[in-house]
């Protein structure tokens, strides 16, 4: 399963070497919010499946159920297919542009077509095929109950957790493969969205930053990079007209307090 990290650590050149940063993302609409949640779950699922412990594999199964819950929206598949097709049409408009590498353009359009075909070929909602597995559904019915998957409640599941790592991973990959077309589509759409923005360095004066958004352009995602060593947390709010960011720090009383000093960070608006 192909995934991309939602929060990543990167580096920027500085006189003393590399600076570690934390990347925060803020969606401007419900559709992108859903995509980010799914990406977060697919990343977690991929990580858990690669591990060996039965406990990790238990949470991998629970994560699949979370993907199914998020994917239960009736219009999710339709939204993803529309976005894939829209991106294809936009990219086709760049053909003949001397500043665009035709080979790279063809490769991206091919990926979009492949994702569209694979997702469109799947019947029903995300994880629909898994609902036909009575054994998995018996786990799903109890996984939300505190302690509901104990051995006396689900002895068959307890037995499965005692199988070899290879056997469990084979089962996990087989079940997760039904979610792969959605995962790859979300990954590609978010990558294209993130690549559409240009980063700019800004200053939050007294810990506060506001920026009016240009008229006639609809932004879908905000990305904010902060120096990890500053121990600063951004509180982000925004709409189609304005972005507002307040820098906070975690104090000794375990509460967030507003930063009073100026703070620098990198801001990217993606449309």
Residue 8 has pLDDT above 80, yes or no: no
Q: Which domains does the chain have, with CATH numbers?
A: 33-191 (1.10.3900.10), 197-270 (2.60.440.10)
Asked if the model's pLDDT at residue 17 lies above 70, the reply is no
| Whole-structure pTM value | 0.90
Q: Which residue has the higher pLDDT, 176 or 240?
A: 176
89 vs 108: CA distance, rounded Å? 12
How many Å apart are CA 157 and CA 149, to the nearest integer? 8
Which distant-in-sequence residues (6+ apart) come within 8 Å of 43 by Cβ? 3, 4, 5, 6
Q: What is the mean pLDDT of residues 151-175?
A: 98
Q: Work out the pLDDT band at 6, boundaries 50, 70, 90.
A: very low
| H-helix or E-strand spanning residue 264 | strand 263-270
Average pLDDT over residues 209-213: 95
State the pLDDT at residue 18: 66
Mean pLDDT of 32-49: 98
What mean pLDDT value characterizes the chain?
A: 91
Token pair for 264: 């620098």
């Amino acid at each position: 399963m192909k995934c991309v990290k939602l929060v990543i650590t990167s580096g920027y050149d500085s006189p003393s070497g590399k600076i570690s940063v934390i990347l925060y993302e803020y969606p401007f609409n419900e559709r992108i919010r859903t995509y980010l949640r799914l990406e977060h779950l697919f990343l977690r699922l991929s990580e858990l499946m690669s591990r060996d412990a039965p406990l990790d594999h238990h949470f991998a199964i629970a994560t699949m159920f979370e993907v199914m819950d998020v994917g239960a929206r009736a219009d999710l598949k339709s939204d993803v297919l529309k976005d894939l097709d829209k991106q294809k049409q936009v990219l086709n408009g760049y053909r003949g542009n001397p500043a665009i590498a035709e080979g790279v353009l063809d490769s991206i359009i091919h990926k979009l077509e492949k994702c569209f075909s694979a997702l469109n070929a799947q019947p029903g909602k995300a994880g629909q095929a898994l609902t036909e597995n009575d054994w998995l559904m018996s786990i799903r019915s109890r996984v939300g109950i505190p302690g509901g998957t104990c051995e006396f409640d689900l002895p068959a599941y307890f037995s499965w957790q005692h199988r070899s790592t290879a056997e469990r991973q084979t089962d996990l990959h087989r079940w997760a493969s039904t979610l792969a077309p959605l995962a790859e589509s979300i990954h590609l759409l978010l990558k294209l969205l993130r690549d559409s923005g240009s980063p700019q360095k800004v200053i939050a004066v007294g810990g506060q930053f506001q920026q009016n958004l240009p008229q006639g352009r609809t932004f879908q995602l905000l990305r904010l990079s902060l120096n990890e060593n500053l121990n600063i947390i951004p509180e982000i709010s925004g709409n189609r007209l304005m972005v507002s960011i307040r820098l906070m720090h975690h104090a000794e009383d375990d509460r967030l307090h507003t930063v009073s000093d100026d703070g620098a960070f990198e801001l990217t608006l993606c449309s």
